[in-house]
Amino acid sequence: MSTDKVSVHGSWASRWVFIFAATGSAVGLGSIWKFPYMVGVYGGGAFVLVFLACIALIGVPVMLAETLIGRRARLSPANALKVLAVEAGHSGRWSWGAFAGMITALLILSFYSVVGGWSLDYIINMGKGDFQGATADQVGDYFGGVISNPWRLTFWHTAFMLLSAFVIARGVVAGLERSLRIMMPILFVLLLVLLGYSMTTGHFMEGVHFMFDFNPDRVLDGLLAAMGHAFFSLSVGVGSIMIYGAYMPKNASISGTVVGVALIDTFVSLLAGLALFPIVFASGLNPSEGPGLMFVTLPFAFGNVAFGQLMGVVFFVLVAVAAWSSAISLLEPMVAYLVERTRVRRLWVTFWLAFTCWFVGLGTVFSFNIWKQAKFFVSEESGFHLYQWGAASGLDFFGVVDFFTSRIMLPLGGLCFVVFAGWIMGRGAVRDELSMRSPVMFTLTLFLMRYVAPLGILIVFAAQLWK
Ligand code: TRP
């Protein structure tokens, strides 16, 4: 059995490149846009604590599993699972888990790009000074105006998708390192500045209580959402981290690196929440505002501080960069697979995949305006309807894609990968890849991958079904 496979897509110069790429993938709209609004929708503390537990007990083990599978095989996820399963004497059908992951990734990218587009749009709005001195209501109306215009959203969605496809097509995953090395620290500093601002609002403690006061009554409400978001935030469950693991040098420590990336990602999420909620309360906005939360609170804050216009521009540039480095990782597993499989040029593969995502993304664009009334999975007093125009309950198109990917597909994908690493690959292979010095740590890691994470996922699913 070989342990020294070489990737056809190239390999990274050092473990730092993996750290940058994986952090770039993990830190994105999930931490800055999605986490705060979900905390708001699911009532605060209960969601945050469940989320943190899911990161530690489920997310990190799955991330370890993905990284070590990728590095062991040095192939795109589908081929990695197939080759390693066959090597260990199991069925090559394990690769189906990775195919499902690719589809999930494409669906996620379809709406990710739309929201990435919002941040591009906001760079311009900030730069024009549209928010200077604005009231919270005005900012809210402004956002409402932006999303009600399908042409405007389509334009920026297209721009965002083109930017992501451009980088992927050139295969400059390593070029990522240079930009992220500069951008990530600046993003971090700006979040700290925002945090500083939110401390001056007089509502800081209200924000802290909202985020950390544990309300046991609401745990079940947000349980599946929190688990799904733990996957989303760490970029696990579709093979993004697996393909990055495939480019990771052999001598780098997987466990240290993965835990580091997970910590940074979680820290950015908490920072974003702590910066946002005090502003939400200070400005009288509603924490359960939904997907627009960040796009109304932050412009309001930037509109009312010194140098806000400039900081606002820089902030949204960085959000766009963070989103873009995540988008890349959503496309890469499928691009790598098709390049391995078909030998079609990388450029064309990327183009067609990006086009498909773009097309599906139009559904998300329209669910904020012309298809706003189109509701799926409606349960009303008159009974359950798969689809109904104008229903008060139910999910819009974006809601359906988001629900299906984050709450169902990501956990299932993660389950497949972690069971694969824990039970299928073989203990020897896992030990060799992890190469931990302490046998106790190895046993603990294996225990997390074999029992804690898979059972955790199943328990959350079960709790949701019997709620
Ligand atoms: N983690 C990214 C974010 O938080 C999004 C992302 C990138 C992702 N790759 C992924 C989510 C793979 C799920 C699976 O913005």
8 in a structural domain: no
69 in a structural domain: yes
Question: Which CATH number is 332's domain given?
Answer: 1.20.1740
Ligand 1 atom, smallest distance to 323 CA: 15
Residue nearest to atom 8 of ligand 1 (CA): 235
Q: How far is the CA of 418 from the centre of ligand 1 (A)?
A: 18
pLDDT for 30 equals 96
Cα(211)–Cα(239) distance, rounded to whole angstroms? Answer: 31
Q: How far is the CA of 30 from the centre of ligand 1 (A)?
A: 7
Q: Which residues of 49-74 are buried (b: 16+ CB within 10 A; e: fewer)?
A: bbbbebbbbbbbbbbbbbbbbbbbbb
Longest CA–CA span in the chain (Å) reads: 66
Question: In testing the pocket of ligand 1, which one of 111, 329, 402 has its CB within 8 Å of the most ligand atoms?
Answer: 329
Residue nearest to atom 6 of ligand 1 (CA): 235
Question: In testing the pocket of ligand 1, which one of 34, 326, 403 has its CB within 8 Å of the most ligand atoms?
Answer: 326
Cα(395)–Cα(376) distance, rounded to whole angstroms? Answer: 5
338 in a structural domain: yes
Task: Tell whether ligand 1 has an atom less than 6 A from the beta carbon of residue 108.
Answer: yes
182 in a structural domain: yes
Q: How far is the CA of 235 from the centre of ligand 1 (A)?
A: 4
Task: Tell whether ligand 1 has an atom less than 6 A from the beta carbon of residue 334.
Answer: no
**At residue 212, what are phi and psi to the nearest 5 degrees?**
-120, -5
What angle, rounded to 10 degrees, do the helices at 204-212 and 45-54 form? Answer: 60
Distance from CA of residue 177 to its chain's centroid? Answer: 19
Three-state secondary structure call for residue 89? coil
Question: In testing the pocket of ligand 1, which one of 232, 243, 410 has its CB within 8 Å of the most ligand atoms?
Answer: 232
- Tally of domains in the chain: 1
Cα(333)–Cα(379) distance, rounded to whole angstroms? Answer: 37
Which residues neighbour 123 within 8 Å (Cβ) at sequence distance 6 or greater?
Answer: 313, 316, 317, 320
Task: Tell whether ligand 1 has an atom less than 6 A from the beta carbon of residue 29.
Answer: yes
Question: In testing the pocket of ligand 1, which one of 54, 58, 240 has its CB within 8 Å of the most ligand atoms?
Answer: 240
Cα(285)–Cα(450) distance, rounded to whole angstroms? Answer: 44
Task: Tell whether ligand 1 has an atom less than 6 A from the beta carbon of residue 31.
Answer: yes
DSSP E strand stretches across 223-381: 374-380
420 in a structural domain: yes
Question: In testing the pocket of ligand 1, which one of 58, 63, 233 has its CB within 8 Å of the most ligand atoms?
Answer: 233
Three-state secondary structure call for residue 201? coil
Q: How far is the CA of 228 from the centre of ligand 1 (A)?
A: 11
Task: Tell whether ligand 1 has an atom less than 6 A from the beta carbon of residue 268.
Answer: no
Question: In testing the pocket of ligand 1, which one of 330, 401, 408 has its CB within 8 Å of the most ligand atoms?
Answer: 330
Ranges of residues in the chain whose predicted pLDDT is under 50: 1-2
User: Tens of pLDDT along 280-330?
Assistant: 998 888 899 899 999 999 999 888 887 888 889 989 998 998 998 899 899
Task: Tell whether ligand 1 has an atom less than 6 A from the beta carbon of residue 349.
Answer: no
Task: Tell whether ligand 1 has an atom less than 6 A from the beta carbon of residue 269.
Answer: no
Task: Tell whether ligand 1 has an atom less than 6 A from the beta carbon of residue 173.
Answer: no
pLDDT for 1 equals 42
Nearest to 412 by CA among 40, 20, 121, 58: 58
Q: How far is the CA of 32 from the centre of ligand 1 (A)?
A: 12
Q: How far is the CA of 446 from the centre of ligand 1 (A)?
A: 25
Q: How far is the CA of 236 from the centre of ligand 1 (A)?
A: 7
5 in a structural domain: no
pLDDT for 7 equals 73
Beta-bridge partners for 375: 388
User: Tens of pLDDT along 390-412?
Assistant: 888 889 999 999 999 999 999 99
Range of the domain at 419: 15-465
pLDDT for 406 equals 96
Task: Tell whether ligand 1 has an atom less than 6 A from the beta carbon of residue 333.
Answer: no
1 in a structural domain: no
Task: Tell whether ligand 1 has an atom less than 6 A from the beta carbon of residue 113.
Answer: no
With contact defined as beta carbons under 8 Å apart, do 334 and 177 qualify?
A: no
Which residues neighbour 147 within 8 Å (Cβ) at sequence distance 6 or greater?
Answer: 118, 153, 292, 368, 369
Ligand 1 atom, smallest distance to 327 CA: 7
H, E, C per residue of 21-73? HHHHHHCCHHHHHHHHHHHHHCCCHHHHHHHHHHHHHHHHHHHHHHHHHHHHH
Q: Which residues of 92-104 are buried (b: 16+ CB within 10 A; e: fewer)?
A: eebbebbebbbeb
pLDDT for 304 equals 85
What Å distances lie between residue 98 and 92, 185, 330, 404, CA to CA?
11, 33, 13, 16
Distance from CA of residue 315 to its chain's centroid? Answer: 19
Nearest to 271 by CA among 260, 281, 282, 263: 263
With contact defined as beta carbons under 8 Å apart, do 302 and 122 qualify?
A: no
Ligand 1 atom, smallest distance to 329 CA: 9
Task: Tell whether ligand 1 has an atom less than 6 A from the beta carbon of residue 30.
Answer: yes
Cα(129)–Cα(331) distance, rounded to whole angstroms? Answer: 34
442 in a structural domain: yes
**At residue 5, what are phi and psi to the nearest 5 degrees?**
-70, 155
Cα(83)–Cα(100) distance, rounded to whole angstroms? Answer: 17
